[in-house]
Amino acid sequence: MPLKRNEKAFLDFSELKNTAVFCLFFLITFFIRFPFFFRDYVDRDESTFILLGQSWANGFLPYTQLWDLKPPLTFAFFAGIISIFGKSFIAIRLAGVFLVVITTFYTYKIALTMIPKKASILVGAFCIVLLSLFGSLQGVMSEHICIALFVPAIYLLQSKKSNAYIFLAGVLMGATVMVKLNMAFPILFIGLYLVYESIFTKKNSNFFSILLFSIGVLAVIFATIIPYYLSDQTYIWWESVVLAPLEYTGARRYSIFKLAPIFVITGLFLVYAYKSKKLDFKNRTIQILLVGILGVLFSFAKGGRINGHYLIQLHPMLLILVGIVIYNLIAQYKPKLPVYAAFIALLIPAESYIEYVNVIQNKFEKGTFFNGEGFSAPQYILEHNLDTENILFFEYHIGYWNLDTLPPTTASTHPSNICRDELFPFYDNPRKNSIEELTYIMEDLQPKTVVIRKGRRILDKKEIEENEYIDAYLAKHYKVFATVDNAEILQRL
């Protein structure tokens, strides 16, 4: 039955103000991500970022005490949270909620310039889902940080004409690249687009605004060098932020077949959108989004690898274009959505429902909401007064943080870095390869306590020689002292 003139829909999206939309996105994001506030870790990278953030909060610049292959602002994010709130998983995960909400809100704002508010809000809702579910996205990844800077920068570029906003966009882009280095390519592509626009279209951009944009980008990059320069450690920044990623990219590449799907899917979508005229490729906002997408895809090809969480860098921009195409299709064909579509939508965050159950069950069984071997194994170690000097976590290495101790060597900051011997020269590791590193840890440092994952290979399956060495050494010199959930705590004989 149609609404009368003086009647209103239960929820009139057109009347929602920006604050209400932001709050709506926050509530959805919080609901989806909240049960994961109590998980020890979702991805090992997040644990590594926390360790380096704690090290920086303790007064050690990144790459000087601990080391990992990320630009410094990734660790600055975690260092800032730890400095303010202390060792708080809840504070870190809540910060992750705000990162997703910021990305989603500006994704919505960009979409709103081309499609109605209701459709734009749905684009935002799907953005929350793709940034929060499926895989290791419930933790706080470097991609979450960088895209929360990058999407607002795109919004400023496409919507604001003043030079101050252009400069601010440059600052946000500079911060983006100092969180995730591969984002240099979409930023470069967007810069080249602005130059092209200034030369050939004579509108929206001029050389002064482009200069301001470039100064904004470079200002942040140079700002991250200052602490190293003041402590006479500039070359550490250069080796760790620039040279090491280049070496890693050359050494660790996927097969072209693993890279192909995302390129094929994106390409087919864009061809369809062009042929069907469901996207206006002359629209400046769409052009900026396309340039950004091409830049991200180019960075994937150049890097030679795509992990699931890398796609966070692509999803917001691609979602806007997909949302526009779907809106135009619905406007044209006016299909009737089946009633069960709403039920299917409620099933999307199934991972969250399962985790809510796990958290409640853990509370009843163990008396704490916090769950995972990253909590339970360190707690067992403390309760039984096990030796933590040079303790080695081959898994659950967030345990270093919970035990207030450090990895035994710089290379073991992230367990997989032990086998990335191409990176050893960039933090002056005296060992030359992974076997030497393992030998030094096990035979020279001789950790009394080692933590591994029960029934799982210790190192990556490609590291055949390293796995053979560590399996044989542990079998000869260690015994299982306790099994805590899926963690085996080994003690040296």
pLDDT in tens, 444-486: 999 999 999 998 999 988 889 999 999 999 999 999 999 999 9
Domain count, the chain: 1
**How far is it, in rounded angstroms, from Cα 154 to Cα 159?**
8
Q: Examine the pLDDT at 7 and tell me if it is beyond 50.
A: no
The per-residue b/e assignment along 84-116, b for 16 or more CB within 10 angstroms, e otherwise, is eeeeebeebbbbbbebbbbbbbbbbbbbbebbe
**How far is it, in rounded angstroms, from Cα 350 to Cα 133?**
9
In a domain, 192, yes or no: no
Q: Examine the pLDDT at 434 and tell me if it is beyond 80.
A: yes
Q: Averaged over 202-226, what is the pLDDT? A: 88
Residue 245 to residues 45, 70, 240, 437, 481, Cα–Cα distance (Å): 16, 8, 7, 20, 39
**How far is it, in rounded angstroms, from Cα 248 to Cα 339?**
50
In a domain, 454, yes or no: yes
In a domain, 112, yes or no: no
Does residue 202 come out as left (phi exceeding 0), alpha (psi in the -120 to 50 range) or beta?
A: left
Averaged confidence pLDDT in the chain: 91
Tell me, what's the pLDDT at 159? 83
Q: What is the DSSP string of 236-290?
A: HHIIIIIIHHHHHHHH----HHHHHHHHHHHHHHHHHHHHTT-S-TT-HHHHHHH
Tell me, what's the pLDDT at 21? 95
In a domain, 243, yes or no: no
| Domain that includes residue 427, residue range | 362-492
Pull the structure tokens for residue 377. Answer: 């194994």
Q: In what order do the strands lie in the sheet with 449-453?
A: 392-393, 449-453, 487-492, 478-484
Residue for token pair 């509370």: 363
Q: Examine the pLDDT at 5 and tell me if it is beyond 70.
A: no
In a domain, 475, yes or no: yes
Tell me, what's the pLDDT at 105? 97
**How far is it, in rounded angstroms, from Cα 230 to Cα 126?**
45
The answer to whether the Cα torsion of 77, 78, 84, 88 is positive or negative is positive
Alpha-helix runs per DSSP H in 133-204:
142-159, 163-177, 184-200
In a domain, 457, yes or no: yes
In a domain, 86, yes or no: no
In a domain, 6, yes or no: no
**How far is it, in rounded angstroms, from Cα 341 to Cα 318?**
23
For the segment 336-359, what is each residue's pLDDT rounded down to a tens digit?
877 777 788 888 889 999 999 999
Q: Examine the pLDDT at 83 and tell me if it is beyond 90.
A: yes
From the list 30, 148, 153, 154, the residue with the least C-alpha distance to 99 is 148
